[in-house]
Structure 1
Amino acid sequence: MSKSHTQSIIDAGRWIDAQGWCPATGGNFSRRTGAQEVLITASGRHKGHLQDTDLLQVDLAGHVLDSDLKPSAETLLHTRLYQLDDQMGAVLHTHSVNATVLSLTTPGDWLQIEQLEMQKSLSGNQTHDAAIRIAIFDNTQDMQALAQDVAQRWQQGALSWGLLVRGHGLYAWGRDMPEARRHLEGLEFLFACQLELRRLGVKPAVEGARS
Protein backbone atom coordinates (compact mmCIF):
# COMPACT_ATOMS: atom_id res chain seq x y z
CA MET A 1 0.00 0.00 0.00
CA SER A 2 1.11 3.58 -0.61
CA LYS A 3 2.84 5.29 2.29
CA SER A 4 0.96 8.49 1.47
CA HIS A 5 -2.37 6.66 1.75
CA THR A 6 -1.40 5.27 5.14
CA GLN A 7 -0.03 8.56 6.44
CA SER A 8 -3.13 10.51 5.40
CA ILE A 9 -5.28 8.29 7.65
CA ILE A 10 -2.79 8.44 10.53
CA ASP A 11 -2.63 12.25 10.28
CA ALA A 12 -6.43 12.51 10.12
CA GLY A 13 -6.69 10.33 13.23
CA ARG A 14 -4.34 12.52 15.24
CA TRP A 15 -6.15 15.70 14.16
CA ILE A 16 -9.61 14.27 14.89
CA ASP A 17 -8.49 12.94 18.27
CA ALA A 18 -7.16 16.40 19.16
CA GLN A 19 -10.64 17.82 18.51
CA GLY A 20 -12.24 15.24 20.81
CA TRP A 21 -14.38 13.86 17.99
CA CYS A 22 -13.41 10.20 18.41
CA PRO A 23 -13.13 9.22 22.10
CA ALA A 24 -11.92 5.81 23.24
CA THR A 25 -11.62 3.53 20.21
CA GLY A 26 -14.70 4.82 18.40
CA GLY A 27 -14.90 5.74 14.76
CA ASN A 28 -13.46 4.44 11.50
CA PHE A 29 -11.45 6.16 8.78
CA SER A 30 -10.85 5.01 5.24
CA ARG A 31 -9.58 6.09 1.86
CA ARG A 32 -9.82 4.62 -1.59
CA THR A 33 -6.60 3.06 -2.86
CA GLY A 34 -7.89 1.67 -6.17
CA ALA A 35 -11.04 1.17 -8.17
CA GLN A 36 -12.02 -1.82 -6.01
CA GLU A 37 -9.88 -1.41 -2.88
CA VAL A 38 -10.09 0.61 0.32
CA LEU A 39 -7.62 1.15 3.16
CA ILE A 40 -9.42 1.31 6.52
CA THR A 41 -8.73 1.35 10.25
CA ALA A 42 -8.94 -1.99 12.04
CA SER A 43 -11.46 -2.62 14.81
CA GLY A 44 -10.63 -1.44 18.32
CA ARG A 45 -7.81 1.00 17.48
CA HIS A 46 -7.52 4.37 19.20
CA LYS A 47 -7.60 6.93 16.41
CA GLY A 48 -5.14 9.29 18.04
CA HIS A 49 -2.41 6.62 18.15
CA LEU A 50 -2.71 4.94 14.78
CA GLN A 51 0.25 3.16 13.20
CA ASP A 52 0.52 1.62 9.76
CA THR A 53 -0.02 -1.76 11.43
CA ASP A 54 -3.52 -0.61 12.47
CA LEU A 55 -4.76 -0.39 8.87
CA LEU A 56 -5.95 -3.07 6.48
CA GLN A 57 -7.09 -3.35 2.89
CA VAL A 58 -10.60 -4.50 1.97
CA ASP A 59 -12.42 -4.83 -1.32
CA LEU A 60 -15.69 -3.03 -2.02
CA ALA A 61 -17.63 -6.02 -0.68
CA GLY A 62 -15.86 -5.59 2.67
CA HIS A 63 -13.67 -8.68 2.30
CA VAL A 64 -10.24 -8.44 3.93
CA LEU A 65 -7.30 -8.56 1.52
CA ASP A 66 -4.17 -10.29 2.83
CA SER A 67 -4.37 -9.30 6.50
CA ASP A 68 -5.01 -10.91 9.87
CA LEU A 69 -6.51 -7.71 11.27
CA LYS A 70 -10.21 -7.57 12.12
CA PRO A 71 -12.26 -4.94 10.28
CA SER A 72 -15.02 -3.09 12.10
CA ALA A 73 -18.58 -4.07 11.26
CA GLU A 74 -18.98 -0.46 10.07
CA THR A 75 -16.59 -1.24 7.22
CA LEU A 76 -19.66 -2.32 5.25
CA LEU A 77 -21.07 1.20 5.30
CA HIS A 78 -17.75 2.65 4.15
CA THR A 79 -17.52 0.25 1.23
CA ARG A 80 -21.15 0.89 0.28
CA LEU A 81 -20.45 4.61 0.10
CA TYR A 82 -17.50 3.98 -2.21
CA GLN A 83 -19.72 1.80 -4.39
CA LEU A 84 -22.29 4.60 -4.64
CA ASP A 85 -19.82 7.22 -5.86
CA ASP A 86 -16.69 6.27 -7.79
CA GLN A 87 -15.37 9.81 -7.20
CA MET A 88 -15.43 9.37 -3.41
CA GLY A 89 -11.87 9.19 -2.11
CA ALA A 90 -12.13 9.23 1.69
CA VAL A 91 -14.68 8.63 4.48
CA LEU A 92 -14.33 9.77 8.10
CA HIS A 93 -16.70 8.35 10.72
CA THR A 94 -16.59 10.17 14.05
CA HIS A 95 -18.42 10.17 17.41
CA SER A 96 -18.49 13.79 18.53
CA VAL A 97 -20.84 14.98 21.27
CA ASN A 98 -22.42 17.58 18.97
CA ALA A 99 -23.19 15.11 16.17
CA THR A 100 -24.51 12.51 18.59
CA VAL A 101 -26.77 14.90 20.51
CA LEU A 102 -28.13 16.57 17.37
CA SER A 103 -28.93 13.21 15.82
CA LEU A 104 -30.98 12.26 18.89
CA THR A 105 -32.78 15.57 19.37
CA THR A 106 -33.73 16.34 15.75
CA PRO A 107 -37.09 14.87 14.74
CA GLY A 108 -37.59 13.37 11.33
CA ASP A 109 -35.13 12.23 8.70
CA TRP A 110 -33.22 15.48 8.18
CA LEU A 111 -31.25 18.12 10.00
CA GLN A 112 -31.78 21.43 8.16
CA ILE A 113 -29.22 24.22 8.48
CA GLU A 114 -29.47 27.73 7.09
CA GLN A 115 -28.17 31.30 7.39
CA LEU A 116 -24.67 30.23 8.45
CA GLU A 117 -21.65 31.38 6.44
CA MET A 118 -19.78 28.14 7.16
CA GLN A 119 -22.22 26.32 4.88
CA LYS A 120 -19.82 27.45 2.14
CA SER A 121 -17.18 25.05 3.51
CA LEU A 122 -19.25 22.25 1.93
CA SER A 123 -18.54 21.63 -1.74
CA GLY A 124 -21.09 23.15 -4.11
CA ASN A 125 -22.38 25.78 -1.67
CA GLN A 126 -21.81 29.38 -2.69
CA THR A 127 -24.08 31.18 -0.23
CA HIS A 128 -25.46 31.08 3.28
CA ASP A 129 -28.97 31.77 1.95
CA ALA A 130 -29.67 28.29 0.56
CA ALA A 131 -30.64 25.83 3.28
CA ILE A 132 -28.75 22.53 3.41
CA ARG A 133 -30.00 19.21 4.76
CA ILE A 134 -28.06 16.41 6.40
CA ALA A 135 -29.76 13.01 6.34
CA ILE A 136 -30.36 11.19 9.63
CA PHE A 137 -30.65 7.41 9.83
CA ASP A 138 -31.81 5.32 12.77
CA ASN A 139 -29.03 3.35 14.41
CA THR A 140 -28.85 -0.41 14.02
CA GLN A 141 -26.30 -3.16 14.55
CA ASP A 142 -27.34 -4.61 11.19
CA MET A 143 -24.85 -2.81 8.97
CA GLN A 144 -26.17 -4.49 5.83
CA ALA A 145 -29.60 -2.99 6.51
CA LEU A 146 -28.16 0.45 7.27
CA ALA A 147 -26.04 0.34 4.11
CA GLN A 148 -29.14 -0.51 2.10
CA ASP A 149 -31.09 2.37 3.67
CA VAL A 150 -28.26 4.74 2.78
CA ALA A 151 -28.14 3.41 -0.79
CA GLN A 152 -31.87 3.93 -1.24
CA ARG A 153 -31.72 7.54 -0.15
CA TRP A 154 -28.56 8.12 -2.17
CA GLN A 155 -30.38 7.05 -5.33
CA GLN A 156 -32.89 9.83 -4.63
CA GLY A 157 -30.04 12.32 -4.91
CA ALA A 158 -30.49 13.24 -1.28
CA LEU A 159 -27.02 12.79 0.24
CA SER A 160 -24.08 15.17 0.09
CA TRP A 161 -21.00 15.71 2.29
CA GLY A 162 -22.11 13.47 5.14
CA LEU A 163 -24.84 11.76 7.13
CA LEU A 164 -25.81 11.26 10.75
CA VAL A 165 -26.65 7.98 12.48
CA ARG A 166 -28.98 8.60 15.41
CA GLY A 167 -27.24 8.28 18.77
CA HIS A 168 -24.07 7.18 17.03
CA GLY A 169 -22.25 9.84 15.06
CA LEU A 170 -21.28 11.37 11.73
CA TYR A 171 -20.00 10.02 8.44
CA ALA A 172 -18.32 12.72 6.32
CA TRP A 173 -16.68 12.17 2.95
CA GLY A 174 -14.95 13.86 0.06
CA ARG A 175 -13.18 13.34 -3.23
CA ASP A 176 -9.90 13.06 -1.32
CA MET A 177 -8.75 13.20 2.29
CA PRO A 178 -8.34 17.01 2.42
CA GLU A 179 -11.92 17.50 1.19
CA ALA A 180 -13.26 14.89 3.63
CA ARG A 181 -11.46 16.68 6.46
CA ARG A 182 -12.86 20.04 5.35
CA HIS A 183 -16.39 18.67 5.21
CA LEU A 184 -15.97 17.09 8.64
CA GLU A 185 -14.67 20.30 10.18
CA GLY A 186 -17.33 22.43 8.48
CA LEU A 187 -20.14 20.13 9.57
CA GLU A 188 -18.88 20.03 13.15
CA PHE A 189 -18.88 23.83 13.27
CA LEU A 190 -22.42 23.94 11.87
CA PHE A 191 -23.56 21.34 14.40
CA ALA A 192 -22.06 23.36 17.26
CA CYS A 193 -23.94 26.44 16.02
CA GLN A 194 -27.21 24.52 15.83
CA LEU A 195 -26.88 23.30 19.40
CA GLU A 196 -26.01 26.79 20.66
CA LEU A 197 -29.00 28.28 18.84
CA ARG A 198 -31.25 25.71 20.51
CA ARG A 199 -29.71 26.45 23.91
CA LEU A 200 -30.49 30.12 23.39
CA GLY A 201 -34.02 29.30 22.33
CA VAL A 202 -33.51 30.53 18.74
CA LYS A 203 -35.34 28.22 16.35
CA PRO A 204 -34.48 28.01 12.64
CA ALA A 205 -37.42 28.15 10.25
CA VAL A 206 -37.34 24.37 9.83
CA GLU A 207 -35.20 22.15 12.05
CA GLY A 208 -36.40 18.70 11.12
CA ALA A 209 -38.45 17.51 8.19
CA ARG A 210 -39.85 14.08 7.50
CA SER A 211 -39.08 12.95 3.95
Structure 2
Amino acid sequence: MDLRSLNRPVVRPLAQLFTTLRLTRTPLITQRGHKTTSRTKRALKIPPHDSFLPSRAAPFPAADTIIYNPPSSEASPAHTPFVFLPPNDPRRSALLRIRQTAAAEEANKPINGESTTTEDDNLPPMMKYKRRTPRYNVTEEDVENIRLLRAEDPITWSVSKLAAKFDCSEVFIKMVAPASKEHSKWLQEKMEKKKARWGHIRTQAREERKMRAEMLYRGEL
Protein backbone atom coordinates (compact mmCIF):
# COMPACT_ATOMS: atom_id res chain seq x y z
CA MET A 1 0.00 0.00 0.00
CA ASP A 2 1.24 3.45 -0.88
CA LEU A 3 2.25 5.77 1.98
CA ARG A 4 0.47 8.70 0.32
CA SER A 5 -2.88 6.96 0.54
CA LEU A 6 -2.40 6.44 4.29
CA ASN A 7 -1.54 10.06 5.02
CA ARG A 8 -4.35 11.50 2.89
CA PRO A 9 -7.30 10.71 5.27
CA VAL A 10 -5.39 12.14 8.23
CA VAL A 11 -4.30 15.33 6.49
CA ARG A 12 -7.75 16.11 5.10
CA PRO A 13 -9.62 16.26 8.50
CA LEU A 14 -6.85 18.40 9.92
CA ALA A 15 -7.15 20.80 7.00
CA GLN A 16 -10.93 20.97 7.44
CA LEU A 17 -10.49 21.68 11.17
CA PHE A 18 -8.10 24.58 10.56
CA THR A 19 -10.42 25.98 7.88
CA THR A 20 -13.34 25.94 10.34
CA LEU A 21 -11.28 27.67 13.01
CA ARG A 22 -10.18 30.29 10.52
CA LEU A 23 -13.79 31.03 9.51
CA THR A 24 -15.18 31.24 13.04
CA ARG A 25 -12.34 33.55 14.24
CA THR A 26 -12.83 32.56 17.86
CA PRO A 27 -10.71 34.90 20.04
CA LEU A 28 -8.16 33.10 22.11
CA ILE A 29 -8.03 35.93 24.69
CA THR A 30 -11.25 36.72 26.54
CA GLN A 31 -12.43 40.34 26.39
CA ARG A 32 -14.73 41.91 28.93
CA GLY A 33 -17.48 44.21 27.65
CA HIS A 34 -19.68 46.84 29.23
CA LYS A 35 -22.44 44.59 30.44
CA THR A 36 -23.39 46.54 33.57
CA THR A 37 -24.98 49.93 34.08
CA SER A 38 -22.10 51.36 36.08
CA ARG A 39 -19.53 50.54 33.39
CA THR A 40 -21.79 51.94 30.67
CA LYS A 41 -22.26 55.21 32.57
CA ARG A 42 -18.53 55.44 33.16
CA ALA A 43 -17.84 54.90 29.46
CA LEU A 44 -20.39 57.53 28.41
CA LYS A 45 -19.12 60.12 30.89
CA ILE A 46 -17.64 62.48 28.31
CA PRO A 47 -16.62 66.02 29.29
CA PRO A 48 -18.72 68.79 27.69
CA HIS A 49 -17.57 70.58 24.58
CA ASP A 50 -15.89 73.97 24.90
CA SER A 51 -18.87 75.66 23.26
CA PHE A 52 -21.10 74.58 26.16
CA LEU A 53 -18.85 76.14 28.79
CA PRO A 54 -19.02 79.83 29.77
CA SER A 55 -16.44 82.22 28.46
CA ARG A 56 -13.41 82.72 30.70
CA ALA A 57 -11.95 85.61 28.71
CA ALA A 58 -13.38 88.32 30.95
CA PRO A 59 -11.89 88.72 34.45
CA PHE A 60 -13.85 87.44 37.43
CA PRO A 61 -16.54 88.43 38.31
CA ALA A 62 -17.77 88.60 34.74
CA ALA A 63 -21.22 89.09 33.33
CA ASP A 64 -23.51 86.17 32.56
CA THR A 65 -22.79 84.34 29.33
CA ILE A 66 -25.57 83.23 27.00
CA ILE A 67 -24.64 79.92 25.38
CA TYR A 68 -26.45 79.35 22.09
CA ASN A 69 -25.71 75.89 20.79
CA PRO A 70 -28.78 74.53 19.00
CA PRO A 71 -28.86 70.91 17.82
CA SER A 72 -28.06 70.18 14.22
CA SER A 73 -31.24 70.00 12.20
CA GLU A 74 -32.54 70.56 8.70
CA ALA A 75 -33.05 74.17 7.69
CA SER A 76 -36.66 75.30 7.83
CA PRO A 77 -38.20 76.96 4.74
CA ALA A 78 -39.89 79.49 7.07
CA HIS A 79 -36.48 80.94 7.98
CA THR A 80 -35.54 82.28 4.59
CA PRO A 81 -32.95 85.07 4.70
CA PHE A 82 -34.13 88.51 3.66
CA VAL A 83 -31.77 88.59 0.68
CA PHE A 84 -33.35 85.51 -0.89
CA LEU A 85 -36.98 86.63 -0.48
CA PRO A 86 -38.82 87.42 -3.75
CA PRO A 87 -39.84 91.07 -4.29
CA ASN A 88 -43.56 90.26 -4.02
CA ASP A 89 -43.19 88.11 -0.88
CA PRO A 90 -45.30 89.44 2.05
CA ARG A 91 -42.52 88.50 4.46
CA ARG A 92 -40.27 91.11 2.87
CA SER A 93 -42.71 93.95 3.62
CA ALA A 94 -43.28 92.62 7.14
CA LEU A 95 -39.55 92.56 7.84
CA LEU A 96 -39.19 96.08 6.47
CA ARG A 97 -41.93 97.32 8.81
CA ILE A 98 -40.26 95.63 11.79
CA ARG A 99 -36.92 97.20 10.92
CA GLN A 100 -38.45 100.66 10.53
CA THR A 101 -40.25 100.36 13.87
CA ALA A 102 -37.08 99.23 15.63
CA ALA A 103 -35.12 102.10 14.08
CA ALA A 104 -37.75 104.63 15.21
CA GLU A 105 -37.71 103.27 18.77
CA GLU A 106 -33.93 103.42 18.82
CA ALA A 107 -34.00 107.05 17.69
CA ASN A 108 -36.52 108.01 20.40
CA LYS A 109 -34.44 106.59 23.23
CA PRO A 110 -33.24 109.13 25.83
CA ILE A 111 -29.61 110.17 25.52
CA ASN A 112 -28.64 111.39 29.01
CA GLY A 113 -30.33 108.59 30.92
CA GLU A 114 -33.63 110.45 31.10
CA SER A 115 -36.60 108.13 31.28
CA THR A 116 -39.60 108.91 29.10
CA THR A 117 -41.69 106.01 30.37
CA THR A 118 -44.20 106.23 33.16
CA GLU A 119 -43.96 104.48 36.49
CA ASP A 120 -46.45 101.83 35.39
CA ASP A 121 -44.17 100.75 32.55
CA ASN A 122 -41.36 100.02 35.00
CA LEU A 123 -43.53 97.85 37.22
CA PRO A 124 -43.62 94.06 36.79
CA PRO A 125 -46.66 92.54 35.08
CA MET A 126 -49.75 92.14 37.19
CA MET A 127 -50.29 88.66 38.60
CA LYS A 128 -53.31 86.84 37.26
CA TYR A 129 -55.17 85.26 40.15
CA LYS A 130 -58.67 85.50 41.54
CA ARG A 131 -58.90 88.59 43.70
CA ARG A 132 -61.53 89.02 46.38
CA THR A 133 -62.99 92.43 47.03
CA PRO A 134 -62.91 93.28 50.76
CA ARG A 135 -66.37 93.89 52.20
CA TYR A 136 -65.72 95.02 55.79
CA ASN A 137 -69.04 93.58 56.93
CA VAL A 138 -67.92 92.58 60.47
CA THR A 139 -68.68 95.20 63.13
CA GLU A 140 -67.15 95.72 66.58
CA GLU A 141 -70.09 93.90 68.19
CA ASP A 142 -69.45 90.92 65.92
CA VAL A 143 -65.80 90.91 66.94
CA GLU A 144 -66.78 90.84 70.63
CA ASN A 145 -69.20 87.96 69.98
CA ILE A 146 -66.50 86.07 68.12
CA ARG A 147 -64.09 86.43 71.03
CA LEU A 148 -66.79 85.44 73.53
CA LEU A 149 -67.82 82.30 71.64
CA ARG A 150 -64.21 81.36 71.03
CA ALA A 151 -63.39 81.67 74.73
CA GLU A 152 -66.48 79.78 75.95
CA ASP A 153 -66.24 76.66 73.77
CA PRO A 154 -63.36 76.61 71.25
CA ILE A 155 -64.15 73.02 70.21
CA THR A 156 -67.75 73.70 69.23
CA TRP A 157 -67.04 77.15 67.83
CA SER A 158 -64.04 76.35 65.72
CA VAL A 159 -62.43 78.74 63.27
CA SER A 160 -64.35 77.39 60.28
CA LYS A 161 -67.72 77.56 62.07
CA LEU A 162 -67.15 81.12 63.24
CA ALA A 163 -66.08 82.15 59.74
CA ALA A 164 -69.26 80.63 58.29
CA LYS A 165 -71.48 82.22 60.96
CA PHE A 166 -70.14 85.77 60.60
CA ASP A 167 -69.45 85.52 56.84
CA CYS A 168 -65.74 86.32 56.97
CA SER A 169 -62.44 84.60 56.32
CA GLU A 170 -60.73 82.15 58.66
CA VAL A 171 -57.64 84.37 58.71
CA PHE A 172 -59.72 87.19 60.18
CA ILE A 173 -61.05 84.85 62.91
CA LYS A 174 -57.50 83.82 63.84
CA MET A 175 -56.48 87.47 64.00
CA VAL A 176 -59.28 88.78 66.23
CA ALA A 177 -59.70 85.64 68.38
CA PRO A 178 -56.53 83.55 68.57
CA ALA A 179 -56.64 80.20 70.34
CA SER A 180 -55.77 80.08 74.03
CA LYS A 181 -52.71 78.24 75.35
CA GLU A 182 -54.85 75.42 76.78
CA HIS A 183 -56.67 74.89 73.50
CA SER A 184 -53.42 75.02 71.50
CA LYS A 185 -51.89 72.43 73.83
CA TRP A 186 -54.96 70.20 73.46
CA LEU A 187 -54.74 70.46 69.65
CA GLN A 188 -51.05 69.58 69.75
CA GLU A 189 -51.67 66.51 71.92
CA LYS A 190 -54.46 65.44 69.60
CA MET A 191 -52.10 65.74 66.63
CA GLU A 192 -49.39 63.75 68.42
CA LYS A 193 -51.86 60.91 69.10
CA LYS A 194 -52.84 60.97 65.44
CA LYS A 195 -49.20 60.81 64.32
CA ALA A 196 -48.58 57.86 66.66
CA ARG A 197 -50.98 55.77 64.54
CA TRP A 198 -49.13 56.54 61.33
CA GLY A 199 -47.01 53.88 59.69
CA HIS A 200 -43.47 54.15 58.36
CA ILE A 201 -44.52 55.09 54.82
CA ARG A 202 -46.88 57.87 55.87
CA THR A 203 -44.39 59.31 58.35
CA GLN A 204 -41.65 59.37 55.73
CA ALA A 205 -44.00 60.97 53.20
CA ARG A 206 -44.91 63.77 55.63
CA GLU A 207 -41.24 64.39 56.43
CA GLU A 208 -40.38 64.58 52.72
CA ARG A 209 -43.29 66.98 52.15
CA LYS A 210 -42.01 69.23 54.93
CA MET A 211 -38.50 69.08 53.50
CA ARG A 212 -39.75 70.05 50.02
CA ALA A 213 -41.66 72.99 51.48
CA GLU A 214 -38.54 74.26 53.26
CA MET A 215 -36.50 73.88 50.07
CA LEU A 216 -39.19 75.81 48.17
CA TYR A 217 -39.05 78.67 50.66
CA ARG A 218 -35.26 78.78 50.32
CA GLY A 219 -35.53 78.91 46.52
CA GLU A 220 -33.87 75.54 45.95
CA LEU A 221 -36.75 74.12 43.89
- Taking structure 1 as the reference length, the TM-score comes to 0.14
Return the structure number with greater strand share: 1
- Taking structure 2 as the reference length, the TM-score comes to 0.14
Bigger Cα Rg: 2
Return the structure number with greater helix share: 2
